[in-house]
Amino acid sequence: MELDFKDRRILVVEDEERMVRFIRLNLEYDGFQVSEALNGVEAINKIRNVLPDIILLDVMLPDIDGFEVLRMIREISTVPVIMLTAKGEEDDRVRGLEMGADDYITKPFSPRELVSRVKAVLRRTETATGGTHGLIEVDDRLKLDFDRREVWVAGELVNLRPTEYRLLYHLVKNAGWVVTHDQLLTKVWGYEYRDEPHYVRLYINYLRKKIEEDPANPKYILTERGVGYRFVDFRR
Ligand code: CA
């Protein structure tokens, strides 16, 4: 099955503006929505706010190096990451993969290589998770559209706050699996909040009030006592 990659959000983390322009031009031509971060700090902020579908991450950055950025990304997200490495730096490629990168591209690269690598990684990761794109019909009552950032309950558009939305996104992305309090804290709120589990409880309650028919007896967001939460496995 050929996946349609149009409108996928890609974040390019690279300080060389010529390289960013080259990447942007070629990926936009293929329908990707490209945003950019010129350093590591900007990258982490963008990832928290935008939830890109894939990240191109250069190893050589002016502030925090690419490996450190990768480590920070992996604390908050499983988003696919392709490292951009310099020619001849064999160690960098291995190190990136060991730290959780999904692939690497060695500079210099052709437009064709860039686009085919990005698509290959998306194909691999999206089919593995079932994808979180397009209209997701959990059941007749609850419908989600993460492309448009819309949540529909019984035919009505529900207004979620950004944190509620991010929380729902991470739960649905892992539907059928338990997501721990710690994982939700670091993925939704950030690493510095990992000692404050009451945030998770509070926002799970907000979310249940907005999407569950009976928030006291939830059907979608299930509690795994002492561990975390599990979004119902609606894909089976
Ligand atoms: Ca660079």
pLDDT per position as a tens digit, 157-184: 999 888 898 899 989 988 888 888 888 8
pLDDT of amino acid 88: 75
Q: Which domains does the chain have, with CATH numbers?
A: 9-128 (3.40.50.2300), 135-231 (1.10.10.10)
Between the CA of 198 and the centroid of ligand 1 the distance, in Å, is: 40
Q: How confident is the model at residue 111 (pLDDT cuts 50, 70, 90)?
A: very high
Give the model's pLDDT for residue 1.
39
Sequence letter at residue 183: Q
- Is 60 exceeded by the pLDDT of residue 129? no
In eight-state DSSP terms, residue 214 is S
pLDDT score of 138 more than 70: yes
Q: How far is the CA of 112 from the centre of ligand 1 (A)?
A: 20
Distance 8 CA to ligand 1 centre (A): 23
- Please state, in angstroms and rounded to a whole number, the distance separating the CA atoms of residues 168 and 181: 14
Report how far ligand 1's centroid is from the alpha carbon of 9 (Å). Answer: 21
- Residue 7: the pLDDT is 78
Q: Quick check: bond before 108 cis, omega within 30?
A: yes
d(CA 31, CA 128): 22
Encode pLDDT of 77-96 as tens digits: 778 999 999 877 778 888 88
Considering the entire predicted model, what is its pTM? 0.59
Single-letter amino acid, residue 116: S
58 CA distance to ligand 1 middle (Å): 6
How far, in Å, is the centroid of ligand 1 from the Cα of 97?
Answer: 18
Summary mean pLDDT of the chain: 88
Q: 55 pLDDT band (50/70/90 cuts)?
A: very high
Strands 9-13 and 33-37: parallel
Q: How far is the CA of 57 from the centre of ligand 1 (A)?
A: 9
Q: What is the pLDDT of residues 32-49, one digit of tens each?
A: 999 999 999 999 988 887
How close is the Cα of 13 to the center of ligand 1, in Å? 8
